[in-house]
Structure 1
Amino acid sequence: MPPKKTTPLPPVGKKIKKARTDKKMSYDALANETGFSIDFLKQVEAGKVTPHVGSLLQISRALDIDSCDLLKEAEGRMQDRIKAYTKRTSSYAYSTLTPGAENKHLKAFRVKIDAMKDHEGVSYNHEGEEFVYVLDGTIEVVVGQHVNSLGPGDSLHFNSGIQHHLKNTGEKDAELIVVIYNP
């Protein structure tokens, strides 16, 4: 039996641009709905930047599109980065732990952050709540102005509507489980 052919998914930036232009939404309007700069949104649409999970959730909410479609494509790109480690340009990778969670409020991810690296990008926020559980390594989660230091077995639950940022503070890669609740 011949292998099943799959149609490659369009890059996440193209999906976002199509949704934005189909809705006749300007960059200004999308920037105001998400809090992201127009430059950042243009880089996303051009495929120069792959947004983080929280950013994808904000963009999909602003465009009223299913975040799962965007997350699947972004996850595929992250998996390619994992497979071709030397070609990675980002210091993190993630995979979904809740496949088939379309139209669900709760999504879980396994996240890997390289040693001594930030979860690249500016601080971000998205409506809802977030739960982080550290499997390995040491990380810092800055929520607003409060710094939380976490090690293996530690967890943190916080309001993800507050600006937050993730950073690996250890000398080895950190692995964590991140659960995002989006009302």
Structure 2
Amino acid sequence: MEQAYKEIAPRLAGLRDALDLSVEDLAAKLSVEPETVAAYESGVMEIPVSYLFKVAQECGVDLTVLISGAEAHLTNFSLVKAGEGLSVERRKDYDYKSLAYKFTGRKMEPFKIRVPAKKADEVKAVTHSGQEFIYMLEGRLELMLDGNPVILEPGDSLYFSSHTPHSLRALDGKDAEFIDVII
């Protein structure tokens, strides 16, 4: 099965071309290096959802278009039944499900995410623009925020700036599942 980012990469390049933007122009709009834009458009590396969200916002398109190639159509409400959701491959070992992919003009991106248990040295901190809200559903999750561990259990929630270096891993040898809303 082809990796999702290999399908998304040409959509990114096509959008940039349709807007008559150079790699450098888009990089400046997104406050990233031109090499980052080129790498994501090449289809050889995974593309963070936060990057796709930023491109969608800056270019005035719906995130669903970039992820799935299909237009979102609903504008009043969007129901996603249990077990549904648009699968998004952000990281190989995480299971991301977009929970609002049918809604046009979203101001936030809600995901249901399942992460595996890992050793502390197996995770890497990331940063991106925006803010995040996490609500724990099952398992235990360690979220490292700028090197400080925060342990979340079912029913716990956390709101933080995505500019803060953060990494996450499930604990106790079991997956952790949570709702993550990115703004």
TM above 0.5, yes or no, is: yes
Counterpart CA distance in 2 for 1:45 and 1:120 is 25
Q: Deviations over 1:139-168 (max 9, x none)?
A: 2334456543322322101234x2442310
The aligned residue for residue 47 of structure 2 is: 51
Contact 1:137–1:151 under 8 Å retained in 2 = yes
5+ unaligned residues in a row in structure 1: which ranges? 1-9, 82-88
**What TM-score results when the alignment is normalised by the length of structure 2?**
0.70
What CA distance in whole angstroms lies between the structure 1 residues aligned with 2:95 and 2:124? Answer: 13
Q: Give the alignment of 1:34-49 within 5 angstroms.
A: 34-49=30-45
Correspondence for 1:140 among 136, 139, 142: 142
- Summarize the alignment of residues 62-73 of structure 1 with structure 2, pairs less than 5 Å apart: 62-72=58-68
Q: How does 1:1-183 map to 2 (within 5 A)?
A: 11-72=7-68, 75-76=86-87, 78=89, 90-116=92-118, 123-127=126-130, 129-144=131-146, 146-160=148-162, 162-170=163-171, 171-181=173-183
1: CA distance, partners of 2:65 / 2:27: 21
Q: Distance in 1 between matches of 2:51 and 2:34?
A: 14
The percentage of counterpart residues that share the same residue type is 24
Instruction: Note the alpha carbon deviations across 1:94-117, whole angstroms, 9 max, x for none.
Output: 112224222021331111112217
Residue 94 of structure 1 aligns to a residue whose secondary structure is strand
CA distance in 2, matches of 1:60, 1:122: 24
Classify 1:120/1:49 alpha carbon distance in 2 versus 1 (closer, same or farther; 3 Å).
farther
Matched position secondary structure for 1:172: coil
SS of the counterpart of 1:110? strand
CA distance, structure 1, for counterparts of residue 157 and residue 100 of structure 2: 19
Query: In 2, distance between residues paired with 1:39 and 1:76?
Result: 27
How far apart are the structure 1 equivalents of 2:13 and 2:125?
21
Q: Quick check: 1:91–1:114 contact (8 Å CA) kept in 2? A: yes
- Contact conserved, 2:135 with 2:180, CA < 8 A, in 1? yes
Greater alpha carbon shift after TM alignment, 27-36 vs 49-58:
27-36
Give the superposition deviation at 1:90: 0.9
| CA apart distance, 1:12 | 1.3
Number of residue pairs aligned between Structure 1 and Structure 2: 160
